[in-house]
Chains A and B, each alone.
Chain A
Amino acid sequence: MKSEEEILIKRAKSGDHAAFQALYDQYVVQIYRFVFLKVGQKQDAEDLTQHVFVNAWENIPSYEHRGFPFSSWLYRIASNATVDHFRTGGRTVDIENIPEEYLGGDENQEDAVDTAIEVETIKAVLTKLEPDQQSVLIMKFIEDKTNKEIAESLQKSEGAIRVIQHRALKQLKTLIHARRNN
């Protein structure tokens, strides 16, 4: 029996706009977050997110479901898009002003400030990591993906993902210490 996502994918492959919109609704936030944490700019993140979904829509007829969530394919497109973005002159931004509009609105003011500081710190150091290290940390700890899914998205082995994750956390720790000491 096929999952609901598989049915949506099948319909989208045959040109069903509504089915693709359902997939878009399901994944747009996490793809945007993934891209934003890599490029650090709202406008670039929006442009790249749009590019990811347009690219996915254009290429979905050639998509082959291999048992992984559809998001694995979207993350792969997004990862390539961000690499191309930096290759063609894009730059990471060390966020000094916290973009409050990106933060949840349920917290009270004090918590919001604390969260903002944490976000500022972690976001700033995250952009200093290698692209693969960024991808692994975002997908593993922010999007709660399994190593298998991350490996599929980044076209690497699960062993390689574990190594990258370990090095990324170590590097992140060093960068956070350095930032706090400054």
Chain B
Amino acid sequence: MHEEIIKQLKTLKNISPDSGFVSHTRNLFVPIPTPQRVVSAFTWQYVGVFAVVVIFVFSIPFLFFVPEPTLASLDAVSITNEVRELPINIQLQEIKYSEDVQNTITNAISEASNTDVNHLNYMLLKDEEASIQKTKEINTSVDDLINKAIQ
């Protein structure tokens, strides 16, 4: 009996789809041609030319600008020479000045903090006065030179 059923099943091989359906579905897998975009091609050409012109115009200042001062200041040889010519004495003078100031301040502080009455001693005051007078001495040679220059 199975053979009979199998024979009947094989009759179903005659089933087939409509040719219209087959071709219609087949067309679903046809590549869709991309439309020719002539106008767009021309447009892109114009855009390209315009971009080149714009880039050229904006690059003109950079092409003709020569920053000489900047380049000179960046010259390594001139910078080295400039550094060498710097008066190193300035630093030494500053150091000496700082030492003097520091000594003066130290003396002033020690005197102010001294509770002894030594500073009221007449002899000491005389010595200090003498030293002050000594520093007040005027170098007349300088004055003479100035006067000569004025005349």
Contacts and interface: CB of A to CB of B under 8 A. Distances in A.
Interface of A: 17, 20-21, 24-25, 28-29, 32-33, 36-37, 45-46, 49-50, 53-54, 57, 101-104, 115, 118-119, 121-123, 126, 137-138, 141-142, 169, 172-173, 176
A50 B18 contact: no
B150 interface: no
A138 B10 CA distance: 9
Interface in B38-97: none
Interface of B: 1-2, 5-6, 8-18, 21-22, 25-26, 28-31
Q: Is the interface of A mostly helix, strand, loop or mixed?
A: helix
B28 A28 contact: no
B102 to A, nearest CB: 86
B2 A29 contact: no
B12 A37 contact: yes
B25 A57 contact: no
A125 to B, nearest CB: 9
Contacts of A169: 2, 5-6
B28 A33 contact: no
